[in-house]
Amino acid sequence: MKGYVWIINATSKKLIMLDKSSHNMKQWEFSDVDSQSLCKFCVESTRGQGMFINDSSGVVSFVLNGTKQTFNVVFKQPGLKGQCGLEVDWNALNLKKYSVFPPPPSGGTIGELGWIENGYLSLLIKENFVKVTVSCCLPEEDSIVGYDRCSPCPHLFIGPLWMEYYSSILGKLTLTEMTLPGTHDSGTYHPVSCVGSRWIRTQHTSLADQLQSGIRVLDLRIGQNCPGDYIIVHDIWRTQYTLSQALKEVRDFVDATKKEIVVLDFHRFVNLGSGSYDYNQLKDKIKLLLKGYCLPYMSHATLEEIWMICGSQRVVIAWNADDRDNYMWPGVNQRWYSTATSKQKLYAAIRSDMLQPPTGMWAACSFLASSVDSPIHKAKLIGSTITRWYFGGSLFCQNANVISVDFFDEYSTVVQASIIANLLKGGTK
């Protein structure tokens, strides 16, 4: 069982390895990490016959050079579903002076990274009030891997509140400067048709659960049964989500938080009945259902400015159609790599965008397109690869605005990686 951990040292001090020990590990090799740099380390445990051994373990300790600031990285074989795998014990680190990921829960010291076999996970230590100059690295084509067994990452306790938790660092960023974790065809976890579900379903969880887990951009396709009657769809395939139900889940999430900002990308409009599509009725319904929640178009405003003046107005209506109302934002430019029929072609297409990122709000659609003979579950085939392209500290993650993925909770670490990218971006301001 093999995976990788990146350690990002965004401080003014070199990280010195104090000690390391392991049991039943094939690889547990760590070293010092220079100031304002990142290093990759391999973690590989011993397998047993059939199922892997559950007593593999490792511990490595680091200290910031010339200080008493220490922390430990711990590996415990994630033999059962829900077990963490990698933990970071920040027990002897001043968490008022340093911002870290994964963060410990209130009153605790241990942050959980989780585990994805053959994927990348990142931990970060950032010194507050020290400008970040870490150089992110470009994932190469050898980061393309085959589908492997994945152990799930635990849900971050800060998932519902990560913008608030790190608000002192993120406040100087605008929404177009941020890296936002998003989902593709967000409302399709419960299709009406069981027959077509292999092609329709692209997420396993509800919109509410996605937001609770840290997703901040929802891709919503709106079908019209008749004027005034709207549901969430995947192309012509219907889901059991009405527009009213979907937007209620968004309202409830915003009501339960203080600083989380949600982007609703109304991306596609499908007429399921007779007559013409009534965009005006749809806009009126959205405006009514989100009255008091819509964030006015203010693309150059920082998060700090939004939090200060907007209260519950923290829902961006991104409108991918003509006749945008004045409270709506331009639609998210979905970079749809429909000709990418292989991982290699998808990598090349995304790489081109990352080297010259589009302006405004845009989404890197990081999945392989489905077809009649190849259902959407290609996500399983690309999941481990995505964790290698979008790890915290990669140029893909750093230059992205919205990372749009399928089945985010099972096959990627897009939320973790996005948070780290934002901490690095915020630290340069």
Token output for 381: 């085939």
Rounded Cα distance, 24 and 151, in Å: 19
Q: Rounded to two decimals, what is the model's pTM?
A: 0.94
Given this model, what pLDDT does residue 370 score? 64
Confidence of residue 127 (pLDDT cuts 50, 70, 90): very high
Residue 308 has pLDDT above 70, yes or no: yes
Confidence of residue 56 (pLDDT cuts 50, 70, 90): confident
State the average pLDDT over residues 384-391.
88
Q: Mind listing the pLDDT tens digit for each residue in 218-248?
A: 999 999 999 899 999 988 889 999 999 999 9
Given this model, what pLDDT does residue 294 score? 97
Confidence of residue 49 (pLDDT cuts 50, 70, 90): very low
Residue 376 has pLDDT above 90, yes or no: no
Q: Mind listing the pLDDT tens digit for each residue in 68-112?
A: 999 999 998 876 555 678 999 999 999 999 999 999 998 889 999
Mean pLDDT of the chain: 90
pLDDT higher at 264 or 236? 264
Token output for 143: 């980061």
State the average pLDDT over residues 361-387.
74
pLDDT higher at 172 or 118? 172
Residue 305 has pLDDT above 80, yes or no: yes
State the average pLDDT over residues 154-175.
93
Angle at the Cα of 112 from the Cα atoms of 379 and 58, rounded to 5 degrees: 100
Amino acid symbol at 372: V
Residue 394 has pLDDT above 50, yes or no: yes
Left, alpha or beta for 323 (phi > 0: left; psi -120 to 50: alpha)? left
CA–CA distances in Å: residue 156 to residues 159, 198, 218, 254: 5, 28, 19, 18
Confidence of residue 391 (pLDDT cuts 50, 70, 90): very high
Token output for 332: 């998210």
Residue 327 has pLDDT above 60, yes or no: yes
Given this model, what pLDDT does residue 46 score? 82
**Which of 142-151, 166-175, 274-283, 379-388 is modeled with the greatest confidence?**
166-175
Residue 385 has pLDDT above 70, yes or no: yes
Confidence of residue 51 (pLDDT cuts 50, 70, 90): very low
Rounded Cα distance, 404 and 242, in Å: 22
Residue 372 has pLDDT above 60, yes or no: no
DSSP-derived secondary structure for 163-175: HHHTHHHHTT-BT
Q: Which residue segments constitute the domains of the chain, with CATH numbers given?
A: 2-135 (2.60.270.50), 159-426 (3.20.20.190)
Given this model, what pLDDT does residue 42 score? 94
Residue 162 has pLDDT above 70, yes or no: yes
DSSP-derived secondary structure for 40-57: EEEEEEPP-SSSPPS--E
Residues linked to residue 5 through DSSP beta bridges, in sequence order: 41, 121
Yes or no: say if 209 and 258 are a contact pair by the CB < 8 Å rule: no
